[in-house]
Amino acid sequence: MKVLVIAKVAHAINAAYCLSIGDDSVPAWEEAGEQHHASLVAGVEMHLANPNATPEQSHESWLTQKVADGWVYGEEKDAEKKIHPCCRPYDELPPEQKSKDYLFRAVVHALKDLPDADEAVALALAKAVTASPAVSGMPTKAGHIAVKYIGRRPQWSDHLYGTGLTFDEGQVRNLPTGVARTLLRHCDLFKECKLVVSNEAAASDNTQALLEQGKQQQAKTEDRKEDFAVIDQVNQMQDKDALVSFAATRCNGLKLAKTQKVETMRAKIVEHINRFGASA
């Protein structure tokens, strides 16, 4: 949740800065596309995992990833041709781009310690519920609350809180208190109700399975933070022997030729990490 909020704020500040220098090419967040969203989220996670990383190191990490994905330098950005004007060393970037990198880092560090509003509210409400007398007919399972989807759309999927839950029209799920209270804050979408469970409904209920999938996805996100930390370490390595040794010991025996450029050797290690993870 908080990572997405930080990414949105960083995007808004970047757009405002661009307008201040006469560049109106930055689209609104809703129009920017999933690839752009993912790139900003990855940047936020990189800075959260590496709080001491400088804008230059951040750019090196981004550049290494782009090169590994086949991107090259070009005057105008073209996603289909994989051309980007920032695919060049940090020293060659224009001052405006360096300013954007500094602003992005500043936004992440300014907001990283703010509590996640939804988690804080859910925790406070959970404590209040625990301390209050039980209400007859509400949760049928200790620590759970029945939540009914009342939204207008025929189906709702959670893309905000990482729970992995989906609801069909009028569906009721018996949820852990923290999750339930978080969803119930959206009173136009959910309401608390009495849960009446038939044997047939109980047999087909997949709530717990979806919550487990959501936890697994969050675990993958944590693994990516470790990946970014290792990638940052690789991007600071200048010695070819060190890169060869790192690839052999940390990348499942990956072999690098010392005749390659340092940038190419780094890119191959980063590509391996992105495919198999930092622990492979």
Say if CB 125 and CB 183 are below 8 A apart.
no
| pLDDT computed for residue 96 by the predictor | 92
Report the candidate in 95, 23, 92, 103 with the shortest Cα–Cα distance to residue 63.
92
Say what the pTM is: 0.45
| pLDDT computed for residue 199 by the predictor | 47
Cβ within 8 Å of residue 224, ≥6 positions away: 42, 45
Averaged in consecutive runs of 10 residues, what is the pLDDT profile of the chain (280 residues)?
83 91 88 83 86 88 86 88 92 92 92 66 47 40 81 85 86 88 89 67 64 68 73 88 90 90 91 79
Would you tell me how many other CB atoms lie within 10 Å of the CB of residue 68? 19
| pLDDT computed for residue 203 by the predictor | 45
What gap in Å lies between CA 100 and CA 55, rounded to an integer?
A: 9
Say if CB 168 and CB 149 are below 8 A apart.
yes
Task: Indicate the DSSP class of residue 138.
Answer: S
> Facing residues of 191 across strands?
148
Would you tell me how many other CB atoms lie within 10 Å of the CB of residue 103? 16
Helix (H) and strand (E) counts for the chain? 10, 7
End-to-end CA distance of the chain: 28
DSSP assignments along 75-110, one per residue: SS-BTTTTEETT-S-GGGS-HHHHHHHHHHHHHHHH
DSSP assignments along 239-255, one per residue: -HHHHHHHHHHHTTT--
What is the token pair recorded at 82?
């994989």
Say if CB 181 and CB 143 are below 8 A apart.
no
Q: What is the dihedral of CA 215, 219, 221, 227, to 10 degrees?
A: -170
Buried b (16+ CB within 10 A) or exposed e, 13-40: ebbeeeeeeeeeebeebeebeeebbebb
